[in-house]
Amino acid sequence: MNEYTEIPGGLTAVPGFLAAGIHAGLKKAKKDMALICSTVPAVAAGVFTTNKVKAAPLLLNMEHLQNDITKAIVINSGNANACTGAQGMKDAQAMAELTAEALGLNSQEVLVASTGVIGVQMPMDKVAAGIKLAAQELSPAGGPLAAEAIMTTDTFLKQISFQFTVGGKTVTLGGAAKGSGMIHPNMATMLGFITTDLAIGKEVLQHALSEVVKRTFNMITVDGDTSTNDMVLVLANGLAGNQAIKDREDDGYDDFYRALTYACTYLAKEIARDGEGATKLLTVEVLNAPTELDAQLAAKSVCGSNLVKTALFGEDANWGRILAAVGYSGADFDPAKVDIFIKSAAGEEQVAAKGTGLNFSEEKAKKILEEKEVTFIVDLNSGKEKATAWSCDFSYDYVKINASYRT
């Protein structure tokens, strides 16, 4: 099993990558524009929201990802450039062109990401000046600054970087993400960026990302709203010097797949932990399901239940809400076989057996639910497959934050 050596730096811990995070004026004071650049040609892959309403940058990226080479990603926060019509597409294209001009690239080699308020036209004068400034500020130490610049209602920076081996070569992987609200399976108002110096083919990189996202970013929910802007992008520039991975059967693919899963799982959990107004991170493990899809449906349904999330905030071991959420999930199972447990650093308690409540200790259950990280275990006893999903509790502050988001 590959060991992961944590290193500092985030996105720019990876050889050959530069980044910047600056204030362009889209937000009042905080950093609001980021730029990520590979100094050598890289291949890219992307996964995008399932929302039929897709922001202009996503539509542009779907075109630009057809290009063999990608060298830069430009990102702004504070404005989603979503539901902005033909002008929005022109502005997304302009962001790619301005970045290409500043870096001496072809605009097809640039990807674009935006996050923020929906339905407002981009202030392109500020964007243009911001891109020029960000290009001047590019640095091998800029990873954390870029991670900061993509934040909206996030309360903390989300990044990771580590090294592992592929074919005897040291490979570095860095990542950053943002997300706090409008978070629901099939991604979220969630932007995720991964950099690596692995040598890998474009098609196999796309396959790996698509599969990993299903089990990580698509398994989180904060509020049930699926965003117009969410995406995960990966750039791989090959500087690690490993024998290039061209096929899923090639040596090193499994090592990379596990590393990518490790990074995306970490970032997904950080997003769930930082849900708007959240006080607790919720992990839901579904065990012994007939199929992986059944397990995923059940886990996501429990995580997405407002009644479960409010009970968690109130530290109430209301297991009936958990079972009810599994019941309407669409998963195949026998309700008379379901066991439910709650667990945290304070211990573990079984609260239901064979679909029926137990005479459990309310006092112990309360102590378990008082912890900042809580796990619900739902054993369907109907097969051998499993899945994990992540969410957070629903607090009073969630309403406060979203009631005044635009103002």
Domains and CATH numbers, the chain: 5-271 (3.60.70.12), 281-403 (3.10.20.340)
For the stretch 350-405, pLDDT in tens is 999 999 999 999 999 999 999 999 999 999 999 999 999 999 998 888 777 767 65
Q: Taking residues 38-59, what's their average pLDDT?
A: 92
pLDDT value for 223: 54
Average pLDDT over the chain reads: 93
Residue 287 Cα distances to 261, 296, 327, 362, angstroms = 20, 10, 15, 24
Backbone φ and ψ for 85, nearest 5 degrees, come out as 65, -155
The pLDDT confidence band at residue 1, using thresholds 50, 70 and 90, is low
For the stretch 105-117, pLDDT in tens is 999 999 999 998 8
Q: How far apart are alpha carbons 190 and 129 in whole angstroms?
A: 25
pLDDT value for 236: 98
pLDDT value for 69: 98
pLDDT value for 276: 75
For the stretch 65-95, pLDDT in tens is 999 999 999 999 999 999 999 999 999 999 9
Q: Catalytic residue, from 115, 189, 196, 216: name it.
A: 189
* Least-confidence region, from 202-211, 269-278, 291-300, 387-396: 269-278
The pLDDT confidence band at residue 277, using thresholds 50, 70 and 90, is confident
For the stretch 155-177, pLDDT in tens is 899 999 999 999 999 999 999 99
Q: Which residue has better confidence, 116 or 59? A: 59
Backbone φ and ψ for 208, nearest 5 degrees, come out as -60, -45
Q: How far apart are alpha carbons 32 and 95 in whole angstroms?
A: 14
Among this protein's residues, is 261 annotated catalytic?
Answer: no
For the stretch 2-37, pLDDT in tens is 799 999 999 999 999 999 999 999 999 999 999 999
Residue 310 has pLDDT above 70, yes or no: yes
pLDDT value for 181: 52
Give the contacts of 358 (CB within 8 A, at least 6 positions apart).
350, 351, 352
pLDDT value for 190: 83
Tokens at 15, concatenated: 């050889």
Q: How far apart are alpha carbons 269 and 50 in whole angstroms?
A: 20
For the stretch 186-228, pLDDT in tens is 434 589 999 999 999 999 999 999 999 999 998 987 655 556 6
Residue 126 has pLDDT above 90, yes or no: yes
The pLDDT confidence band at residue 185, using thresholds 50, 70 and 90, is very low
Residue 241 has pLDDT above 70, yes or no: yes
Label each residue of the chain as H, E or C.
CCCCEECCCHHHHCCCEEEEEECCCCCCCCCCEEEEEEEEEEEEEEEECCCCCCCHHHHHHHHHCCCCCEEEEEEEEEECCCCCHHHHHHHHHHHHHHHHHHHCCCHHHEEEEEEEECCCCCCHHHHHHHHHHHHHHCECCCHHHHHHHCCCCCCCCEEEEEEEEECCEEEEEEEEEECCCCECCCCECCEEEEEECCCECHHHHHHHHHHHHHHCHHHECCCCCCCCCCEEEEEECCCCCCCCECCCCCCCHHHHHHHHHHHHHHHHHHHHHCCCCCCCEEEEEEEEECCHHHHHHHHHHHHHCHHHHHHHHCCCCCHHHHHHHHHCCCCCCCHHHCEEEEEECCEEEEEEECCEECCCCHHHHHHHHCCCEEEEEEECCCCCEEEEEEEECCCHHHHHHHHCCCC
